[in-house]
Structure 1
Amino acid sequence: MVEPVLTIAMLTYRRNSYLRAVLPLLVDQAASVAHWARPRVLVVDNDPQAGARPVVVAALDGCGFTDFGTGAVSGSAAAATGRVDVGGLQIGLTYVHEPEPGIVAGRNRALDEARDDDLLVFIDDDETPEPGWLAALVAQWRTTRCAAVTGPTPADFAEPPPPWVEASGAFDSWQAEDGAQVGSADTGNLLLDLAVVRRLGLRFDPRYGLTGGEDSLFTRQLTRAGGVIRFATGAVVSKKVPRQRATRAWVLRRAFRSGSSWVRVRVDTAGRVRLPLRVAYAAKGAAKAGADFVRGAGARLRGDLSAQARYEVSSRGGLGMVVGACDVRVREYGRPGRRLARHVGGSRTGGRR
């Protein structure tokens, strides 16, 4: 039997301290499945200045890094490739620079780099894989031969969050039974069967590059085309939450963006006349925003912080649904002061997370 080629792709943007800590862990994770597959680690650097390249070299040079080479790629940075020795196993490592801004450009670059591979696993640069993470993803795929596998993503707070933030549930990890079929997934913890992806012609949609929601659209397109996503309870990555994100203001901004993206994804995958659908979602969002605003105010008056936080988040998500139904894009990763924009065909802006 031919050993499948498996790529672990980490997308990174100016989080070099995170990257420095996690790279050796990714190499060890790759080594854990080397008895069954031919694994490698791929770093896709979305920093226009290619700041992660020296981090990749420095972090692994003292860990048995050998046979380092360079080659020209688009932009001013050079690709780098080599191998790391882990207990006698040779694990491939590749660095590429993707200067086009936006998380979609980074994810599509990973798809391009893995064009001839069998499996692609995404993890983000603010996530830490727990022991057994990759093995659990692979085991679920080997058992079920599904199109994709995902797992839990619990929060790792830099410091204890304020009570309102904790009560909101905004950073809670979703759960399912091991092997359960799920409808969508977070691309920060996702194994893809690339044969299925290629057969369906799936790519990440550039329209979601600065707004987020590209993972919801991609996985919804996958499942609507008949692909199955399974849950692996042992495939755990911890998502780091810095202090500046563990705030009420940030959580409400994320809820607003998520509501907008939720509607846009459903409109974009409707495959039918969209105006009535937009009107229906706008009405649903407005009703949700109003009702939950009142419920949140009532919870605040009676001192129920948990209910207050949940209703306030839900109300802000309802407002996001209204603007999403109007095709107004909430640029979570855009430049400050330019959070909202109506879609103009063919337009492109800079900015990144």
Structure 2
Amino acid sequence: MVLAALTYRRTELLQTLVEALAVQAASVPEDVRLLVVDNNPGGDAREAVERLAAAGHPVHYAHEPEPGIAAGRNRALTAAAEAGDDLLVFIDDDELPSPQWLAHLLRTWHEHPGASGVVGSVVSSFDGAPEPWVAAGDFFRRRRLATGTPVHVAATNNLLVDLHLVRRLGLRFDARFGISGGSDTLFTRQLTSRGAPLVWCDEAEVTDVVPVARTTRAWVLQRALRSGNSWSRTSLVLAGPGPRSLPVRGRLLADGGVRLLGGAVRWSAGVATRSLAQRARGVRTLARGTGMVTGACGWTYLEYRRKPTAG
């Protein structure tokens, strides 16, 4: 099996992550490799990864120069296929696993042999205090479920997938979502709709280290807009082209409209009660509803658009 982390211009995080993953790999009886996929066209992580490999860590380097997170994720799939891996675990380069994280993922995987994979929990820590608006909304509190609960959609920030099933279904991450985000949403929805549900493992926890730049009102609203936009776009892809997508498009417009109305009502209630939490959550709901409606209408929000490099 392979533990894969994608990185883009964050080489300063790699040593801590690789060392932590090496400890995880040594804690289980399975044969575990580590893989860093560098999505920077310049390949700036190569030296850091090769230095860690020379120090004795079981880490391999893969370079994916094509921009976009979907291309990076597909490079991980290709590398796993070339090595004959049967399981692939994705973790983000700005996360750190808890003790026995990998053991918990594998235990849950073995206890649910019909599942297509395992989804772990994510908690956040902060480099600095979030803006009061963000703190009041409690926007970085993620879902927690009982271990074994079926899950039909997931991100790749803490995800184990069955590569035999992925290959049998011919699944890849969709390049149309490489710059917009949402390729993991589509991939896992395709996986569970055509294979079997993922299952939750609450004990397999990773900590997401949130930089100050992401603890602002602007970032939270941007992410909510993109999330809603991606949900509509992935739903339309799953529906298929032509007339088959029309009922789904209509449902997405209706659901987005409900969120717009609900967000406005919640914001108004927050104003009336002087509740910052209610106002914040209302505006965030408005942003997600806007994303859903615009996605249903065919507009794509490019969250990961890269700025041109000077030269």
Q: Is the 8 A contact 1:149 1:190 kept in 2?
A: yes
> Is 1:23 matched with 2:25?
no
Shift of 1:184: 1.4
Matches within 5 A, 1:281-320: 281-320=252-291
> Is 1:140 matched with 2:140?
no
- C-alpha offsets along residues 143-168 of structure 1, whole Å, 9 cap, x if unaligned? 11221101111111111212321232
| Distance of aligned partners of 1:58 and 1:300 in 2 relative to their CA distance in 1, 3 Å threshold | farther
Q: Is the 8 A contact 1:121 1:192 kept in 2?
A: yes
State the identity %.
Answer: 45
Q: Give the helix-richer structure, 1 or 2.
A: 2
Once superposed, which parts of structure 1, at least 4 consecutive aligned residues long, lie more than 4 Å away? none
Residue number in structure 2 paired with 1:101: 67
Residues 164-173 or 180-189, more deviating: 164-173
Residue number in structure 2 paired with 1:127: 95
Letter matched to residue 144 of structure 2? Q
Q: Which one of 6, 9, 19 corresponds to residue 4 of structure 2?
A: 9
Q: Distance in 1 between matches of 2:93 and 2:262?
A: 38
Larger radius of gyration: 1
Shift of 1:60: 4.9
Q: Distance in 1 between matches of 2:76 and 2:199?
A: 22
- C-alpha offsets along residues 51-91 of structure 1, whole Å, 9 cap, x if unaligned? 11111133454xx42xxxxxxxxxxxxxxxxxx3xxxxxxx
Residue number in structure 2 paired with 1:117: 85
Q: Is the 8 A contact 2:262 2:285 kept in 1?
A: no
Q: Secondary structure in 2 aligned to 1:266?
A: helix
Q: Distance in 1 between matches of 2:4 and 2:262?
A: 42
- C-alpha offsets along residues 95-133 of structure 1, whole Å, 9 cap, x if unaligned? 011100000000000000001211000011111111111
Q: Secondary structure in 2 aligned to 1:114?
A: helix
Residue number in structure 1 paired with 2:50: 57
- C-alpha offsets along residues 261-283 of structure 1, whole Å, 9 cap, x if unaligned? 11111111124611343233224
Matches within 5 A, 1:260-299: 260-271=229-240, 273-299=244-270
Residue number in structure 2 paired with 1:73: none
Shift of 1:23: 0.9
- C-alpha offsets along residues 26-49 of structure 1, whole Å, 9 cap, x if unaligned? 11111111x2x2110011000111
Q: Distance in 2 between matches of 1:12 and 1:134?
A: 20
Q: TM-score, normalised by structure 1?
A: 0.82
Matches within 5 A, 1:226-237: 226-237=195-206
Q: Distance in 2 between matches of 1:96 and 1:108?
A: 11
Residue number in structure 1 paired with 2:156: 187
Q: Is the 8 A contact 1:285 1:318 kept in 2?
A: yes
Shift of 1:203: 0.7
| Distance of aligned partners of 1:173 and 1:324 in 2 relative to their CA distance in 1, 3 Å threshold | same
Q: Distance in 2 between matches of 1:234 and 1:305?
A: 33
Residue number in structure 2 paired with 1:211: 180
Q: Distance in 2 between matches of 1:179 and 1:136?
A: 12
Q: Secondary structure in 2 aligned to 1:21?
A: helix
Q: Is the 8 A contact 2:50 2:61 kept in 1?
A: no
- C-alpha offsets along residues 312-331 of structure 1, whole Å, 9 cap, x if unaligned? 11111111111100111100
Residue number in structure 2 paired with 1:89: none
Shift of 1:141: 0.7
Q: Is the 8 A contact 2:228 2:289 kept in 1?
A: yes
Q: Is the 8 A contact 2:52 2:59 kept in 1?
A: no
Any unmatched runs of 5+ in structure 2? none
Q: Is the 8 A contact 1:9 1:41 kept in 2?
A: yes
Q: Is the 8 A contact 2:9 2:45 kept in 1?
A: yes
Q: Secondary structure in 2 aligned to 1:309?
A: helix
Q: Which one of 30, 40, 46 corresponds to residue 47 of structure 1?
A: 40
Residue number in structure 2 paired with 1:326: 297
Q: How many pairs are equivalent?
A: 304
Q: Distance in 1 between matches of 2:224 and 2:98?
A: 27
Q: Distance in 2 between matches of 1:129 and 1:256?
A: 29
Q: Is the 8 A contact 1:24 1:60 kept in 2?
A: no
CA RMSD of aligned residues (A): 1.7
Q: Give the strand-richer structure, 1 or 2.
A: 1
Any unmatched runs of 5+ in structure 1? 1-5, 66-83, 85-91, 337-349
Q: Secondary structure in 2 aligned to 1:48?
A: coil
Q: Is the 8 A contact 2:18 2:59 kept in 1?
A: no
